[in-house]
């Protein structure tokens, strides 16, 4: 249901002869870029050796990704942390060791490489893979197209309402407000992959770019 004012018997309306509608526009698109979080998690009794081993593994992963054609500026550290781990026995806290976690965010322009990036990373020391997303490089441009569709949709709704009420519509809206916008990428849940996992198949699917507006149109009645 879309709220709109109904004229009184004399053709006048106390609220200014307005028709209010919601317009929606959607584009269904194929993604043209991807990103993935790759992590090396190292657990050892001593902290310094754990850090050193983790650094060696991460460097190995980065070099392996470069051989696939991934530019260095497309590989960025998204998180680095050191956690102290404990066991609990009979209510007592017993020190177990340290866990060093280094997460890399990798941007991939060639979608045919996404599975190979994951496989290569795992084969070279990565033991955590998460947050695989397929998205669009030109999000803003596609959103503007969806916005135009949303405005057209609002205009068509207003015309339909005006025709049904037998009133004359001013085709130019007196007010347009963006109500929301979304680009819905394909998300894959976080998961830990064992070393040696190969032939990962990841399908990019399609994305929905959506724009929503609210619009007001003036109309007048004929006597």
CATH assignment at residue 154: 3.30.110.170
- pLDDT of residue 111 exceeding 70, the answer is yes
Domain count across the chain: 2
pLDDT-derived band at 187, boundaries 50, 70, 90: low
How far is CA 135 from its chain centroid? 7
Structural domain of 69 = 33-135
CATH of the domain at 87: 3.30.70.2970
Q: Work out the pLDDT band at 199, boundaries 50, 70, 90.
A: low
Sheet containing 186-188: order of strands: 75-89, 92-108, 33-44, 128-135, 186-188
Contact 85, 97 (CB under 8 A): yes
**Does 193 score more than 60 pLDDT?**
no
Q: Where are the beta strands (DSSP E) in 109-160?
A: 128-135
CA atoms within 13 A on the CB side of 40: 23
Same domain, 125 and 146: no
Q: Are 145 and 210 in contact (CB under 8 A)?
A: no
Q: What is the pLDDT of residues 122-148, one digit of tens each?
A: 999 999 999 899 989 998 999 999 999
Digit-coded pLDDT (tens) for 44-100 = 999 999 999 999 999 999 999 999 999 999 999 999 999 999 988 888 888 999 999
DSSP, collapsed to helix, strand or coil, labels residue 92 as strand
Are 101 and 40 part of one and the same domain? yes
Distance from C-alpha of 199 to C-alpha of 201, rounded to nearest angstrom: 6
138 three-state secondary structure: coil
Tell how strand 175-184 and strand 207-220 pair up.
antiparallel
On whether both 105 and 175 belong to a single domain, the answer is no
- Domain match, 47 and 128 both: yes
Q: Please indicate, yes or no, whether residues 93 and 124 belong to a single structural domain of this protein.
A: yes
Q: How confident is the model at residue 16 (pLDDT cuts 50, 70, 90)?
A: low
The strand pairing partners of 84, in sequence order, are 98
Kindly tell me if the per-residue pLDDT of 170 is higher than 50: yes
Q: Which residue has the higher pLDDT, 108 or 92?
A: 108
Same domain, 82 and 116: yes
Task: Flag whether pLDDT at 120 surpasses 80.
Answer: yes
Same domain for 41 and 121: yes
pLDDT at residue number 185: 61
Farthest-apart Cα atoms in the chain, separation: 90
The single-letter DSSP state of residue 174 is S
Is the pLDDT reported for residue 189 higher than 60? Answer: no
Binning pLDDT at 50, 70 and 90, where does residue 223 land? low
């Amino acid at each position: 249901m879309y709220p709109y004012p109904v004229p009184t018997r004399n053709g006048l309306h106390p609220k200014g002869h307005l028709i209010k509608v919601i317009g929606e526009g959607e584009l269904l698109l194929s993604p043209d870029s991807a990103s993935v979080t790759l992590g090396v998690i190292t657990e050892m009794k001593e902290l310094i050796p754990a850090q050193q081993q983790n650094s060696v593994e991460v460097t190995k992963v980065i070099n392996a990704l470069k051989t696939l054609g991934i530019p260095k500026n497309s590989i960025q550290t998204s998180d680095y942390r050191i956690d102290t781990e404990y066991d609990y026995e009979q209510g007592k806290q017993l020190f177990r060791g340290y866990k060093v976690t280094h997460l890399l965010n990798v941007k991939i322009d060639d979608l045919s490489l996404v599975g190979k990036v994951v496989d290569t990373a795992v084969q070279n020391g990565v033991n955590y893979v998460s947050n695989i997303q397929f998205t669009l490089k030109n999000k803003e441009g596609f959103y503007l197209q969806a916005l135009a569709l949303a405005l057209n949709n609002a205009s068509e709704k207003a015309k339909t309402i005006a025709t049904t009420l037998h009133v004359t519509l001013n085709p130019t809206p007196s007010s347009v407000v963006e109500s929301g916008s979304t680009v819905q990428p394909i998300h894959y849940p976080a998961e830990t992959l064992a070393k040696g996992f190969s032939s990962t198949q990841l399908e990019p699917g399609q994305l929905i770019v959506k724009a929503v507006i609210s619009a007001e149109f003036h109309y007048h009645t004929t006597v």
